[in-house]
Structure 1
Amino acid sequence: MHYIWVQISLVHQVIMFHQGQVVESLAFAGRVEFVAMPWSADITLNDTRVSDAGIYRCVVSNPPETGDPGIDELTLRVLVPPSVPVCLWEGVTNVGGSVTLSCLVVQGVPAPHISWEKLDLDQMILPVIMEGELMGSAKIVNMSAQNSGVYRCTVMNPLGTENCFVNLSVSTAPDSSPGLLQGVLLTLSMALILLALLVLVLWLHRLAQESKWRHGCEVEGHGEIGHTPPLVRRSFV
C-alpha cells in the first residue's frame, strides 16, 4: 500500500508511507504518525499549531494495480484561546470632549467576542463597534465628570478569557475669568508705567528749559558790568 497526506493550503507533503518506509515532513517531524500501519491511512497530529489549520488531502494507492487511487479531503480547524488584548484610547478628556476606546487582540480561534464596560457599582456596558474580527471600539461623547473611572475590555472564546484596562480622568476646562482679570491688571500696570515715564520726560524737559533761561540772564548781566568805560577827555590850559 502507498499512503500520502498533503496539506493543500501550504502545498507540501505531511507524511508518506511507501514501500514499508515512513517519511515525515520537516514541519511535522515528531508530531505526526500513522495510527495502524500498514492497514490504515489514518494519522494522528500532536502538538497542533495555528499554522496546521487548513485543508488536508489523503491519497491511497496499491501498486502495481493501475486503478485510480482513493482520494479524500478534510478541513482541520485549530482552536486558539484569545491572546492578551491591548487597550488604547484617543480623544479629549475635558468636559464636553469625546474619547474612543480601542481593544485589539492578536489571535483567537474562533474569533473572540469583545466587550467594553465601565467598572463602577452599576458596571455600565458600552456599545461596541467591531473593526474586523479582532478589534472592537467604544466611543464616549459629551464627556462629564461621571465618565471618569476604569474601563475594561474583555475578549473571550470557548478556550479562554483575557482583559485589559483604561483609566480615564475627565478634567474641567480652566476658567477664563482669572486670565481675563490678569490681562486687565497687566494693561493698567503698563498704562501707569507709561504715564509715569511721560511725566518724568516733561519734568526733565522743563528743568532743561529753566536752566537754559537762567544761564542766558547771567551772561547778559556780566556784559553790562564788564564793558569798557568811555575815555575822559582832558583839556590843558
Structure 2
Amino acid sequence: MSCITLLVLISAAVILLGVLMTRAQTEMKKVVGDNATLPCHHQFWVGDDPTLDIEWLLLKPTNRQRVVITYFAGRVFDPNEGERGRVAFAGEYLKGDASLLISDLSLTDSGEYSCKVKTGAQYHWSTISLIVLVKPSKPQCWMEGKLLEGGDVKMSCRSADGSDPIHYKWEKVLDKGKYAGKLPPLALIDLKNPEIVTLRNLTRDSTGVYKCTASNDVGEESCTVEVKLHYVRGNGVVAGAVVGVSFGALLIILIIWLVFCKKEMKKYEEEEIPNEIREDAEAPKAKLVKPNSLSSSRSGSSHSGTSSTQSIIPPPKLTPGNLNCVGATAVMIPAQTKAFQTV
C-alpha cells in the first residue's frame, strides 16, 4: 500500500468520524387552527459563519417532498410564496435553535418533517411527524323507544365532524352535573357501535340525565339527554274508564231516542183525537113511544076518523140505564127530523 493510498484512507476516516448524525424521530399532534413548533437543535454555533446550512423538508404521505424553509449563504429563503408568514424559524437558528414555527395549522400541514443542519463536514439530522387533527364537533343526542315503566329505550349520539378515531362514552349525570356516574346495571352497550346504549327494563332508578362524550386525540365535545319515566295505570282502572265512557254514551243516545219518540206520539194523538167518538159525547135525539099509547091512539082515530098529532117528547141523554128504566125501545132519528106523525 502506497503512502498516498494510506493517506486517503486516513482522511476519509477522519471525515467519517467528524460527521455527526442524530436521528431523533418524534410525533406531534395538533388541532386545526393552532400553532406548532417543531423542535430542531444543533451544536454548530459559529456566529455568522456563511458555511452554515439549515433546511426543513416536508415529506407528504404521497412521498412527495418539498422544501419548507432554508437558510443558506447568510439568507433565509421561504419558497412557499402563497403561505409567506405562516412558517418561520422559531428561535436563534445561528446559535443552535433551528426549530420551525407553523402558524394557523391546516390539514394539509400533516406529514413528516426533516431538519438538516450542516457546517463543513458536520451534519445534524432530525425528523418529526406532525399530525394535524380536527377535534370532534358537538355531537347530537337522541332517544328511540317509549319511556314506559318496564320498557326499553335506545340512546344514540354522533359527531358530524372530527378526525378518526372518535371515541364515544355514555355516563349518567349525578348531583346536578357535578359528577358523572356509571350506567344502570341493565344498560346494554353496543360493542361495535359504542355510541349506542340501550336502557332495558326501565324503573325509577333509570330516570335522570345521561351524557355522551365524543373524543379523539386533540379534543372532546358532549351532549345530554333526559330520561323521564311515564307510568301507566292498572288494567282495571283503564277498563273501568272505558266502561264508564261507553255507558255514558249509551245513556245520552237513549235519552235522545226517548225525547224523539215522545214528540212523535204527541203528534200522532193530536191528529187522531178529532176522528174518535168519546164515551161522554152527546148521542143523537130519539122519540120514545109507549106501546099502549100507540094502540089506543090507533083505536081512537079509527072511531073518530080524525087525525091527531102526538106530542114529541124531548129525548134525554141516552144511556143503557135510561132505556131500561123506561122500558122503551130506542129509535135513532136523524137530527133533521122534528117529530113523528101518528095516523
Q: Percent identity?
A: 20
Of residues 131, 142, 153 in structure 1, which corresponds to 2:212?
Answer: 153
Partner of 2:256, secondary structure, is helix
The whole-number CA distance in structure 1 between the counterparts of 2:205 and 2:70 is 68
- Give 1:147's aligned amino acid: S
Candidates 171, 176, 189, aligned match of 1:128: 189
User: For the residues of structure 1 that align with 2:338 and 2:246, how far apart are their CA atoms?
Assistant: 73
How far the C-alpha of 1:194 sits from its partner, in A, is: 0.9
Name which of 248, 259, 263 aligns with 1:185. 248
Of 31, 47, 55 in structure 1, the residue corresponding to residue 86 of structure 2 is 31
* Equivalent position of 2:140 in the other structure: 86
For the residues of structure 1 that align with 2:195 and 2:243, how far apart are their CA atoms? 44
CA displacement at 1:89 relative to structure 2 = 1.9
RMSD (CA atoms):
4.5
What is the CA–CA distance in structure 2 between the aligned matches of 1:96 and 1:44, rounded to whole Å?
A: 61
Query: In the TM superposition, what whole-angstrom CA distance separates every residue of 1:18-50 from its partner, at most 9, and x where no partner exists?
Result: 997431153x43222468999xxx872523635
Is 1:140 the counterpart of 2:215? The answer is no
- Matching of residue 118 in structure 1 with residue 118 in structure 2: no
Please say if residues 8 and 57 of structure 1, whose CA atoms lie closer than 8 Å, have aligned partners that are also in contact.
no
Residue in 1 that maps onto 2:131: 77
The residue type equivalent to 2:230 in the other structure is S
Aligned length: 206
Please list every run of 5 or more consecutive structure 2 residues that lacks an aligned counterpart in the other structure: 1-52, 117-126, 285-333
Mean CA deviation greater in 183-192 or 88-97: 88-97
Deviation at 1:158, TM superposition (A): 5.2
Q: What is the identity, as a one-letter code, of the residue corresponding to 2:253?
A: M
| Structure number with bigger Rg | 2
TM-score relative to the length of structure 1: 0.61
Instruction: State whether residues 188 and 200 of structure 2, in contact with CA within 8 Å, keep that contact through their aligned partners in structure 1.
Output: no
Question: 1:141 and 1:95, CA in 2 relative to 1: closer, same or farther beyond 3 A?
Answer: same
Alpha-carbon distance in 2 for matches of 1:128, 1:206: 80
Residue ranges of structure 1 left out of the alignment (5+ in a row): 61-72, 233-237
Q: 1:229 to 1:81 in 2, by over 3 A?
A: same
Q: Equivalents in 2 of 1:213, 1:14: separation in Å? A: 126
Give TM-score, length-normalised by structure 2. 0.45
Q: Alpha-carbon deviation of 1:94? A: 2.7
Give 1:181 shift. 1.1
